[in-house]
Amino acid sequence: MINTFLEHLDACPTAHHVVDRVSALLQSRGISQVHVDAEFSTDHLECGFVINGGTIIAWKNAQSIAKQGIRIVGAHTDSPGLHIKPNPDTRTLNWHQLQVEVYGGPLLNSWLDRDLGIAGHVVLQDGSTVLFVSPQPVARIPQLAIHLDREVNDKGLILHRHHHLSPIWATTDSSASFEAWLAQQVSTSASRIASWSAQLFDTQKAQILGRDSEFVVSSRIDNQISCWAALSALLNSDSDRPMMIALFDHEEIGSQSSQGAGGPMLEHVLERLSSAGGSSRSEYLLSLQRSHCVSADNAHAVHPNYVDRHEPNNAPFVNEGVVVKTNASQRYATSPKSVVPIVRAASEAGVNLQSFASRNNIACGSTIGPITATRLGIETVDIGVPQLSMHSIREMCGTQDPVDLVSLLGEYFSRS
């Protein structure tokens, strides 16, 4: 099963590729897209999905939301990285470079000396969108040689976010502009391109690693584990309970966009399903009180070389279970009551649960859980798979925990 996770990682260099893959897998199982600008009807209640840019929301068994509420698993499709700016072509001496913008909070040093590809989507003049992935590595951000930076190992690497991150991708002998290259990638002429979005990605494939093959290493483990696990649980479930996955873009930059968890998309989909089922506004609001949400995003496993960064009683280990994340200041939405469906599902699925709470002297991260809970008033619990190297271009997790997350979410969807 873990191999399907590796396939998912390799197929999804951008949030839009995640949405494309999830959409194709849903359709292969008979679940059809409902266009966001189309009326929802009773035909759409049994199953369906909507897409808005890098966000996708899919559901099953929405006929009985009014009576039973709905169980939702939320995750995020985006990852921190380097996006290509408009008019990116720059020439320094005889090097041809691209201007990039930092997206979210990547570990910048991890992007050096990597064989980088470029992936994204192009919107054509007729409004259609075409995804692309460069078939081979095309760019690299070379680190300065130690002979020219003698103190780097002792004083640490300091990267200037503007000057030190531009990849090289050609010499002046090459005259093709970025947009001309882009047009080639989608087999069109530059004049037919209305707009585009492109980002760098590591071309090294996801891999199993370790003496006993216990680890997965890849880009975008945060948060493709949760996207893959949520989708797998939804597709595998034969329960007739209402269930939904909401995979949001823009988490890494704070979720405040029309497609992000801070936008109205989930709320609108829930209300439209409810009204397609004939419920009144007050029945819809009541259904939210009967609903529950799992916000699935990765957690920090304890690092053997930096044990002091965790509080010892709440330090998760890789391959020892799914983590429940708690924060008294509500950076995570978990409450003693909201965790109960997950505790019950874990016991049914035979999955171990671990706990994470941050040290008082280290700021706690956050994710979509508290945003969903605040917007919709749905009881929410924050959970996730423990990993190392979060926000590195090459992250690491266990091989057991992702599989456990699928089992846990499967039970969560199926049981009351």
Rounded Cα distance, 330 and 328, in Å: 5
**DSSP string covering 142-164:** PPPPGGGSTTHHHH-----TTTS
Q: Which CB, 52 or 223, lies closer to Zn ion?
A: 223
Number of residues assigned to the chain: 416
391 neighbors 105 (Cβ within 8 angstroms)? yes
Residue 260 to residues 26, 51, 52: CA-CA distances in angstroms?
21, 12, 10
Contact of 138 with 132, CB cutoff 8 Å: no
CB closer to Zn ion out of 237 and 298: 298
Least CB distance to Zn ion at residue 187 (A): 34
Q: Which is nearer to Zn ion, 223 or 354 (CB)?
A: 223
Place of tokens 């080639």: 184
The type of residue at 382 is D
The first and second tokens of residue 281, run together, are 């506004």
Q: Environment class of residue 289 by beta-carbon count within 10 Å: exposed (0-12), middle (13-18) or buried (19+)? A: exposed
**Shortest CB 389 distance to Zn ion, Å:** 13
Contact set with Zn ion (CB under 5 A): 222-223, 297
What minimum distance in Å lies between the beta carbon of 223 and Zn ion? 4
Q: Which is nearer to Zn ion, 166 or 226 (CB)?
A: 226
For the bound state, the minimum distance from the C-beta of residue 387 to Zn ion, rounded and expressed in Å, comes to 10
Tokens 């529950």 belong to: 292
Inter-residue contact 325 to 338 (CB < 8 Å)? no
> Rounded to the nearest whole angstrom, what is the least distance from the CB of residue 97 to Zn ion in the complex?
30
Closer Cβ to Zn ion, 15 or 122, answer by number: 15
For residue 186, the minimal CB distance to Zn ion (Å) is 29
The structure tokens listed for 42 are 């009773």
In terms of CB distance, is 68 or 110 closer to Zn ion? 110
What radius of gyration, in Å, describes the C-alpha atoms of the chain? 22
